[in-house]
A and B are shown apart, each in its own frame.
Chain A
Amino acid sequence: MTETPSKALPDQPDEPLAVAEAHTPDEVAIASQWQLTWWAFKKHRLAMIGLWVIGFMYLVSLFAGFVAPNDPTDSNRRAVYHPPQMIHFIDSSEDGWSFRPYVWEMDRERDPDTLAVTYVPSGEKIYLRLFGRGQEYKFWGLWETDIHLLATVKPRDNFFLFGADRLGRDMFSRVVYGTRISMSIGLVGVAIALVLGITLGGISGYYGGRTDTVIQRLIEFVLSLPTIPIWLALAAALPPSWPIYQQYFVITLIVSLVGWTELGRVVRGRFLAMKNDDFVIAARLDGASEKRIIFRHMLPSLTSHIIASLTLAIPLMILAETGLSFLGLGLQPPAISWGVLLKEAQNIRSISQAPWLFIPGGFVVVAVLAFNFLGDGMRDAADPYGH
């Protein structure tokens, strides 16, 4: 039941494994498949960076209430299109320097000729405190607290690291909360795609014959449907009056329609190839039930491949949700996702006035890149016996 490391190892003792350089042959010989995979993965530097970035993003979305200094839905008429403020950590004055984070205060002024609102630095510093007290929020929906990662020392002050939008809402807090929804949509969508892909792909590859033909035709049919119009039609069918969690679930379902076909094909191909492998025949001759053969013998040797293709499916879903919400067909405000935030940047007037509305787009790009690197690395590492 210990997967299949014996398959490749004793056959070619002269040929070094991809991971062999860093580890002694003895170590490699007794390492489990997961250990070999991890060693191979660690060598992929970009994939490691991707892993860190993604880990960081999920950490932020787990503690969104704590990281965000403000309530993301709080509008502030005095801060419409407030520009971003740089955060300084070292406060230097006449009597030396100290560690005291601060931002420069900006005053709102109206141009006497054009009446346009501009913000000019007032020369005052707004001091910030780590783990300071700010607005109340519910920590994981469990208990009330008002401790934030960063808060102003004086409760009446405000600071905008990523600027403010057309209603004076703090973009930084909105991006943080948006991360939570955008990043989790990919995860939930992938879970749905996983169930569909494994079930249909597995059945297709294991039984073959007519079942295979039917399922393959179905996959081809879904693949050649034009995705965007289908999404649009499905999303347009969503009544905007639905509560957020219901919208969220349906959007995830729609988005996961992209992912499962690819996974289904991978699983099918592997099952077809593996069906007549020695270890499967051995299990069958041993009288193992079909369920046991599939779940205990065949699926475990596929796990790393499945994880890799799942990771590569997540960015597609994130992009899909962003596009839909950007069009106003996905999540509706007051829900916050990166796509909903980018909707604010839709017309040229608001972005030429407030280019910081692009910031959520940067997060989309970074997240998608990180997932792609991670998935690439996993795909390469998935087969540690190859070269």
Chain B
Amino acid sequence: MIWRYILKRILWMVPFLFGVSIVAFLLIQAPPGDYLTTYIAKLGESNEVLDQASIENLRARFGLDQPLYVQYFKWVSRLLVGDFGMSFEWRQPVSDLVWGRMGLTLCLSMATLLFTWAVAFPIGVYSAVRKYSFGDYLATTLGFIGLATPNFLLALILMYIGVVHFGADVGGLFSNEYKNAPWSMAKVWDLAKHLWLPVVVLGTSATASLIRIMRANLLDELNKPYVDTARAKGLSEFWLIMKYPVRVALNPFVSTIGWVLPNLVSGAVVTAIVLSLPTAGPLMLQALLAQDMYLAGAFVLMLSSLTVIGMLLSDILLVLLDPRVKYD
């Protein structure tokens, strides 16, 4: 049964991604002009001027002289065989560029997800069990402030504190000497030293909302008769809470995978620019601004697929975890 459900959901992704590809293509083409306009403007800054013939020549080479729908079908038909095309701006295959950035992005997202869970779970449980205690009020207040603070503002403030009070350079994911070095143990350690700041910045708002959800769900559960029954039977308070109500209240944690994955990747754009992280966000923004069609399109498609896969993953996990959730 579950296999049929998964299969059906995967089949649903096909028309969805098709729709996304159209939206992405139209969006990227929406601004007036095309990549060549940007390119010519850039050349103009260094006082180089292209004559009309070579402009036409370039336009034909990039395939920008054809009508929109021809460009779209060319792009999609090559996508189907796994060819993402070449980036205009970088003169490199898009897949190389994207995968180079995606690795670090995924690494950052996973670290943030773990951080979010590790922090939100105990605090959420504590807040619910010790309702209206000092700790609960503290967690609630911090949670609300965490939700209301834009990520980039938090990043700026932490950077400010780092520079002014600790004299440390906190931007980026690597120190200078490791930036272009091949992977080694030392480089991984360097990454770990830099990772905490973006993880904290990116994880704050998700943590705050998870704490709220966990607290509310657990509070609902704690009032139910089965908790009283277990208590009457003499189960220790810790096991009683951990074993039954917490398990039920855990569902929202699983659901987070669905929105946390794409949110982290795309929501991190602003933060990544502030902290100058070598993740997907800044590259995507650059590609969008330069109308680097194939690169930007690949990113938008990739993020949408991540969203859909994340939702599917969390739905499957929900079904496995909670027998009450029905699938059809």
Contacts and interface: CB of A to CB of B under 8 A. Distances in A.
Contacts of B20: 225
Contacts of B108: none
Contacts of A352: 160, 163-164
A165 to B, nearest CB: 15
B148 A369 contact: yes
B15 to A, nearest CB: 9
A236 B153 contact: no
A365 interface: yes
B307 interface: yes
Interface string B12-30: 0000100110011001101
B118 to A, nearest CB: 25
B150 to A, nearest CB: 6
Interface string B113-149: 0000000000000000000000000000000110111
Give the size category of B's interface with A: 35 or more
B31 interface: yes
A229 B266 contact: yes
A232 B269 CA distance: 10
B48 to A, nearest CB: 23
A237 B145 contact: no
A346 interface: yes
A236 B289 CA distance: 6
A233 B160 contact: no
Contacts of A368: 147-148
Contacts of A192: none
A39 interface: no
Given A221-B16, A224-B16, A346-B274, A230 B163 contact: no
Contacts of A327: 269-270, 273, 285
B307 A236 contact: no
Contacts of A346: 156, 274
Interface residues of A, number: 36
Interface in B27-44: 27-28, 30-32
A355 B160 contact: yes
B288 interface: yes
Interface in A324-354: 326-327, 342, 345-346, 348, 351-352
Contacts, number: 111
Most buried by A among B19, B159, B270: B270
Contacts of A226: 262, 265-266, 300, 303-304, 306-307
A234 B300 CA distance: 13
A231 to B, nearest CB: 9
Interface stretch (A15-23, A277-285, A315-323): A315-323
A348 B152 contact: no
B284 interface: yes
A144 to B, nearest CB: 37
Contact of A372 (B147, B157, B163, B171): B147
A358 B16 contact: no
A236 B291 CA distance: 9
A269 interface: no
B257 interface: no
B299 interface: yes
Contacts of B145: 365, 369
A229 B299 contact: yes
A372 B145 CA distance: 10
B304 A224 contact: yes
B100 interface: no
B63 interface: no
B173 interface: no
Contacts of B307: 224-226
Most buried by B among A315, A326, A352, A355: A326
Contact of B153 (A315, A342, A355, A366): A342
A365 B267 contact: no
Nearest to A234: B27
B299 A233 contact: no
A365 B153 CA distance: 10
A175 interface: no
A323 B148 contact: no
Contacts of B23: 225, 230
Contacts of A229: 266, 269, 284, 288, 299-300, 303
B311 interface: yes
Contacts of B296: 233
A358 B152 contact: no
A246 interface: no
Nearest to A224: B307
A261 B324 CA distance: 27
A324 B169 CA distance: 26
Contacts of A230: 23, 27, 300
Interface string B213-238: 00000000000000000000000000
B241 interface: no
A277 B170 CA distance: 59
A365 B148 contact: yes
A239 interface: yes
Most buried by A among B24, B30, B285: B285
B16 A348 contact: no
Nearest to A360: B153
A323 B150 contact: yes
Nearest to A373: B144
A305 B149 CA distance: 26
A236 B152 contact: no
A199 interface: no
A316 to B, nearest CB: 11
B300 A237 contact: no
B61 to A, nearest CB: 24
Interface string B169-207: 001000000000000000000000000000000000000
Contacts of A227: 266
15 contacts: A226-B262, A226-B266, A226-B306, A228-B266, A228-B270, A229-B266, A233-B27, A234-B30, A319-B150, A323-B152, A327-B270, A348-B159, A348-B171, A351-B156, A365-B145
Which 7 A-B pairs rank lowest in CB-CB distance, beginning with the nearest? A368-B148, A226-B303, A228-B266, A237-B31, A233-B27, A237-B30, A369-B148
Interface of A: 221, 224-230, 232-234, 236-237, 239, 315, 319, 322-323, 326-327, 342, 345-346, 348, 351-352, 355, 358, 361, 364-366, 368-369, 372-373
Interface of B: 16, 19-20, 23-24, 27-28, 30-32, 144-145, 147-150, 152-153, 156-157, 159-160, 163-164, 171, 262, 265-267, 269-270, 273-274, 284-285, 288-289, 296, 299-300, 303-304, 306-308, 311
